Structure 1
Amino acid sequence: MGRVGKQTIVFKNPPVISCAYSSVGPKEAAGPLSTYFDHSYEDELLGQDTWEKAESKLIENTIQGLLTRSGKNPTDIEFIFAGDLENQIVASTFGVSSFNIPYFGLYGACSTMGESLCLASMAIGGGMAQTVIAGTSSHYCAAEKQFRYPLEYAGQRTLTQQWTVTGSGYVLVTHGGKGPQVEAITPGKIVDLGISDTFNMGAAMAPAAIDTIVTHLEDTGRRPCDFDAIITGDLGNCGVDIAITLAHKLGYDLKGILNDCGKMIFDNEKQDTHSGGSGCGCSASVFTGYLYKQLLEGKLKRILLVPTGALMSPTSGFQGNTIPGIAHAVSIVMK
């Protein structure tokens, strides 16, 4: 494991993503990727009496699904890296508590899947562990209540607004084994170009996505065409257009290479999601449900997964602050 360029880590012995599991809600299960998700729920409450408890149950069930699929017990896992969008990441805290696994609670907003994968890979690549779990989640109803308006308010959604995914995705990252390998990571920096519109997350996150993508390419000496796809997490339709424009100004043509989990998970016209999907569970469920399977089947050989996050809180918005963005890149190859 070693640093290259400004902020990229290349793994001498790449960690392996040896297993993955995804869970989604009913709206996500009705989208274009429905057949790829491992489990879907008909009820967003998951039998619980609050949205927040439902998200914790979603996390618990997803991790259990991962353990069952991989044939592992909680005692086989050395660390778990997880986070969510709720205040003080309590959904993850309650969701992982029953497994009794040493826990790193993370907050990277919608970039948390990238953050958890980066830290899990560093733990494996640095020889600190042999088997760890990484993942995240989000819940539409819980996120709307916290960051915008409770559903009962029935506020009008803007055309730039995205639909927070009710979903969760977790992976098993191991030293050795079969599966896609994490060959390099580029942790992102905070990028803030002054966007303050909380109904346009794509515009706030796009500059951070391009900053991380360009840094990764420069650090590794790669070109966009060296990847089958560069896939951001949560930019949605508006954010992807902005990202492609920003990249072009820097001399990089990402047309035909750049895609976004927020664009992939919903059928915008049929499902009325305006600018697409977002939330921690967006990139998590699309990666573990769809992209991971494409890698296993050899339909994708190398991807750059770049989950993106808007690092705001209800308090910062009320105080008139702008929305800082961040993005973490994970280069994944199937050999």
Structure 2
Amino acid sequence: MYIVLKNIRHGLKPIPFQSLRTVKLQKENMNEIVNLNPPDSVRGMLELSEECFKKNVSIPVLHVKDVKLSNIIKLVKPELLKVENFKPIKSDESGTQIYLNPNRVDSENLENELNKFGLGKKDIILTNFTLNYENFSAEQVFRAVLPKNKEGMASFTKIGHILHVNLREHLLPFKKLIGKVLFDKIPGCKTVVNKTNMIDNTYRNFQMEILEGEDDMMVTLKENKCTFQFDFSAVYWNSRLSSEHECIVKKLNSNDVLFDVCAGVGPFSVPLAKKSCIVHANDLNPESYKWMNHNFKLNKIKTDCFKTYNKDAKMFILEEIKEYLPKYLTTHKDY
């Protein structure tokens, strides 16, 4: 028996032909590489303007026709141009155009390999290419916009359709831009919120402001093969603890006992009860208690596998654990 007391991301416009070797020599002479990041002019932007992210660069494009495409793709795969929302291989009636990263191409080696398939430098055209806002990742945008010598946008937490950020003071002037960029760039995001105070109340939830998206705090998510639903504005949930949740769930076996002192909406209790452990789950927050019971029912947990309580943690220990622990110690020999 285990006793667990938890508090726990244009088109082609050819310019006069140049071979890759010529391009490489020009770059060496200029002592620079092609910058595929947003333009420097966006530094300090407070309100997002997608138009300001437009940037023209020169990209080598390999034109392929009447050659087995799979052989060429395998050859150039490491040198492909990889930017957000852009497919570097495009085919039409004229053949296939393969966009290459100018900073990764080794011209001499590539030309030698292309010669084996009847291709050469005549098939590579340096082409004008326009990078737009949609071609940059959220990380690239933040690095280009936010203050250079201060901590940037380090991370966010995803809770269902909600992205939760905790912005430091120097980032607050950029909060609307940060919310819009995350809303645009992160798949499945419908709401971006920022915590406005520390978790210092009795129920361990916090005030928040919506930076972008819908005013919808009801979330549905999956963790440890269980579905959870709750009002994120009214309860405590931290997706970064998912590894801890999984670790505990794996350690306990069927018929083991869990006393969950601060159970929240059930990230430990629900999957363990589903595993046929005996669960006593408590939380003082009435909203957490409500959604914990909802999640037991949502996951079709047998009622004889769990009991729930809406008590102060101290009283739960002094009353329920004091009552039930001696009984389990006599019926469960391994603990």
TM-score by length of 1: 0.23
Asked which structure has the greater CA Rg, the reply is: 2
